Chain A
Amino acid sequence: MNDARGRLAVVAITSKFRNAMLVFAFACSTLAGAAWAQGELRFCLRSEPKTFDPLKVEDDASVAIRYLTGGVLVRLSRQTQVLEPELAQSWKVSKDGRQITFKLRSGILFSDGTPFSAEDVAYTVQQLMDPALHSATGDAFRTGPGNVETEVVSPTQISITFPAPVAGLDRQFDQVAMLSAHSPKKEMAVLGPFMVADYKPGATVLLKRNPNYWKSDAQGHKLPYLDSIRLDIQPNRDVEMLRFKRGEIDLINSLDSEYFDKLQATSPQAAHDAGPSLDSEQMWFNEVGRSPLPTYKKNWFRSANFRRAISDAINRDDLARVVFRGHAQPAVGPVSPANKFWFNPKLKVEPYSPDAALKSLQSDGFRLENGVLKDKDGNAVVFSLITNSGNKYRERMATMIQEDLQKIGIHMNVVTLDFPSLIERMTQTFDYEAILLGLTNVGLDPSEQMNVWLSSSDNHQWNPSEKAPETAWEAEIDRLMREQASSADAKKRKQSFDRVQEIAVEQAPFIYLVNRNALSAVAANVQGAAPVILVPQTYWNVERLSVK
């Protein structure tokens, strides 16, 4: 079993003594907590939370509340990207990747005073895997037909067996907040640092410190330090920024580069650039065989040489420098370098080279005539790039790409469409030539990208729902993705996914442009903040934050 880092020493005490000790410890910790509890943290949710049930969470606002209130068995450190023990002291995954055994901490209470044990873990897992619940969190564990079996070995030990191997099984538990099997308060009884105290729909969610939270700091002070957190529901980013400047809120989790620069100019200590995030901006061509495009265009878009030439002709440095004001990095491939474990370090950024692009195109029979690129049949290379209207960064990127491609004789029309129309063309009618969109990655594990890479998937954007892989390289990616998903050996999985990344760069079905930096704002009165690239960037260590 994995040894828990920084765990508390467990003192063996008799069961008679235990209750008295717990009462005493609780009294002490409450006093200590009261002495150290500091203020109220305020920040904005950009939408209404759709649920407070941690198992039903899908939207960002509910994810934020789950993070602040839910207790998990293991936690992926947002800072080190390493899995750390929480409610579980240690854990072990079986070699076949189907079973996980947790050793739990003892003496932990839910916010309402109900004791936490292996029974609660079994109850949570059974609830999570109930098909009637339609839990998005549960879907990550659903890799094969059959039921999940839970075996409560003792009050502090539980084994969970899945019908099929689950890739990155232990990491998936980072998203599973434990429920109480016995509490009358149901999901409102929590194990996290805060609990929901008040909710005014459309206005605020008020969280109060959980008096039974089990963690203490190195000096023995009860965590969390904060008394409460006020989450104001505010979808407008301009208003959010204005309120931050007025001192009405203390954090902004993600900022765009223009606001960031303005904030840095006035309050440099409040603006934080944590470096490249997992998010990427990318474009791709329509390779769908049944699309209504003329055959000669289909042939262009299905040629790896053509796609790579476009990739070579785009000046990514300029995109990062100009569009994102330097708060982005030229993208290397499908995985951001910010993903410390899964990024393939052999891959390098494609250098900007219109000459190399023209050479690639010439090998496919294209030729430049009076500044116009023509294919071997004399068709001028003209295509349109769609992006969603209202996104100024994408519109600017598209305009810059337009000028870059003009240099190799390609005429590209920039089209901005409202999002529903864009999605309809992308997924229903396939009536488009190229699309520029962004991908927001929240997970580190490649198994979370299965729906993009498998050729049979609906989200295999350049050519969705293929009955059988239409190219040899797509078949190879299918094989490698399935291989990594069915293995519990991290090294083998890494090898497989490294190769997927190499193929993706060689074949360029997606032309990766930039990885945006994780930009955030933290007011000077917030103590202990150390923004990171992973969500939630600013309050990942919320239990150790305080407000002066």
Chain B
Amino acid sequence: MVLWRMVLYRMKVWRSVACSVLLVVMGFSLAANWLAPAGYAKQYRDVTDAAPSRQHWLGTDEIGRDRFARVLYGTRISLLLAPAAALLSTLMAALVGGMSGYLGGAWARGAMAVTDLFLSLPWLFLLITVRAVMPLNVSPLLSVMVTFLMLGLLGWTSSARVLCATASSLRDSDFVRQARASGIHGTRLFWVHVLPNLKPVLYAQFWISIPAFILSEANLGILGLGVAEPMPSWGSLLKELEGLVSVGEEPWKFVPLILLVVVVTSFQLVLSKQEELSA
């Protein structure tokens, strides 16, 4: 019993640390304008691919841009847009999965068929196609927003299956039957009795999606299909690691990767708190 309490205490500590880390990272990225006033696009062409120095805390990239500034601005983009995409995908999952599970029968079968169809789509090629047909003269900001929008629109399927199963089990639960017997039907039954019980699952799906979208954007960035130049994102920053043969050679280039791992881990720790709350 004492051991169990210690484990719980340590988990709480770690969650607190994770929340603090997320807050600090978010705070720093929001303060990018003050911490790196020269901006992420300024090219110091005489100090390219430089090691960390007083002027450039994390050195410069291949064309002389300050890596610290790019990490800050890239973090801002990834941390603001990934939750936005996660919110969109969770809402879509709630709409398709939650509603179909609640309605059951042909609705559920139809919705799951659509979900399976979406799951079977080669999303990478779909994203490449969307990028290819997009107008060319769009600003980098709009381009990155479209990228995350696409991730959000395509990323709801797994969550929808989970929500469908949960809503389906709720529909047949005793308290919903009792509510029905009391004369509550339709939308009111859904909003008052089903949705509140779906909320923990929705939260969990939301938190799970955030690191998944961050990693998806990073993958797209590595393929050259993410955020348009000169805007940074974690994906475009991770591209620097291509062809790096030794970890010890230029360790400062690993900062975006370390940051990504730390943030994703922090999200996972926060998520476990959410799961505990929902249990």
**A interface residues with partner B (beta carbon < 8 Å):** 238, 242, 258-259, 262, 318, 321-323, 382-384, 386, 389-392, 395-396, 398-400, 402-403, 413-418, 421, 424, 431-433
Contacts and interface: CB of A to CB of B under 8 A. Distances in A.
Interface string B125-163: 000100110001111100000000000000000000000
B229 interface: yes
Contact of B136 (A262, A399, A415): A415
A396 B228 CA distance: 12
Q: Which secondary structure dominates where chain B touches chain A?
A: loop
28 contacts: A238-B243, A242-B245, A258-B243, A262-B245, A318-B45, A322-B48, A389-B223, A389-B224, A390-B224, A392-B62, A396-B63, A399-B43, A399-B229, A399-B230, A400-B43, A403-B230, A413-B136, A413-B137, A413-B138, A413-B140, A414-B230, A415-B136, A416-B229, A417-B131, A418-B128, A418-B132, A424-B132, A433-B137
A152 to B, nearest CB: 55
Nearest to A238: B243
Closest 5 CB pairs of A and B: A389-B224, A421-B132, A384-B136, A414-B229, A399-B229
Contacts of A413: 136-140, 228
Contacts of B239: 392
A389 B147 CA distance: 15
Contacts of B136: 384, 386, 413, 415, 431-433
Contacts of B128: 418, 421
Given A383-B137, A384-B137, A414 B243 contact: no
Q: Which secondary structure dominates where chain A touches chain B?
A: helix
Listed residue (A318, A383, A391, A413) with the most chain B CB atoms within 10 angstroms of its CB: A413
A400 B62 CA distance: 11
Contacts of A238: 243
A241 to B, nearest CB: 8
Contacts of A318: 45
Contacts of A432: 136
B174 interface: no
Nearest to A391: B224
A402 B230 contact: yes
Contacts of B223: 389-390
Given A384-B137, A421-B132, 8 more contacts: A321-B45, A384-B136, A402-B229, A403-B230, A413-B139, A415-B136, A417-B132, A421-B128
Interface of B: 41, 43, 45, 48, 62-64, 128, 131-132, 136-140, 223-225, 228-230, 239, 242-243, 245
Contacts of B45: 318, 321-322, 400
A71 B50 CA distance: 50
A474 B136 CA distance: 29
Contacts of A323: 62-63
Nearest to B242: A392
Contacts of A400: 43, 45, 63
B230 A322 contact: no
Contacts of A386: 136
Nearest to A415: B136
Contacts of B63: 322-323, 396, 399-400
A499 to B, nearest CB: 35
Contacts of B245: 242, 262
Contacts of B228: 413-416
A468 B64 CA distance: 46
Nearest to B228: A414
Listed residue (A238, A242, A396, A431) with the most chain B CB atoms within 10 angstroms of its CB: A396
B266 to A, nearest CB: 31
Contacts of A421: 128, 131-132
A427 to B, nearest CB: 14
A242 to B, nearest CB: 7
A418 B127 CA distance: 11
A105 B223 CA distance: 54
A396 B63 CA distance: 7
Nearest to B129: A421
Contacts of B131: 417-418, 421
Nearest to A403: B43
A382 B137 CA distance: 8
Contacts of A258: 243
B62 A322 contact: yes
Nearest to A318: B45
A274 B99 CA distance: 68
A258 B138 CA distance: 31
A298 to B, nearest CB: 15
A383 B239 CA distance: 26
A400 B230 CA distance: 9
A421 B41 CA distance: 27
Contacts of A382: 137
A416 B229 CA distance: 9
Given A322-B64, A413-B139, A418 B43 contact: no
A386 B228 CA distance: 11
A403 B229 CA distance: 11
A391 B62 CA distance: 14
Nearest to A262: B245
B240 to A, nearest CB: 9
A323 B48 CA distance: 9
B16 to A, nearest CB: 41
A133 to B, nearest CB: 37
B223 to A, nearest CB: 7
A384 B135 CA distance: 10
Nearest to B42: A403
A389 B132 CA distance: 11
A500 to B, nearest CB: 31
Nearest to B49: A325
A402 B132 CA distance: 21
A313 B64 CA distance: 19
A247 B81 CA distance: 47
A421 B48 CA distance: 32
B105 to A, nearest CB: 43
A190 B41 CA distance: 57
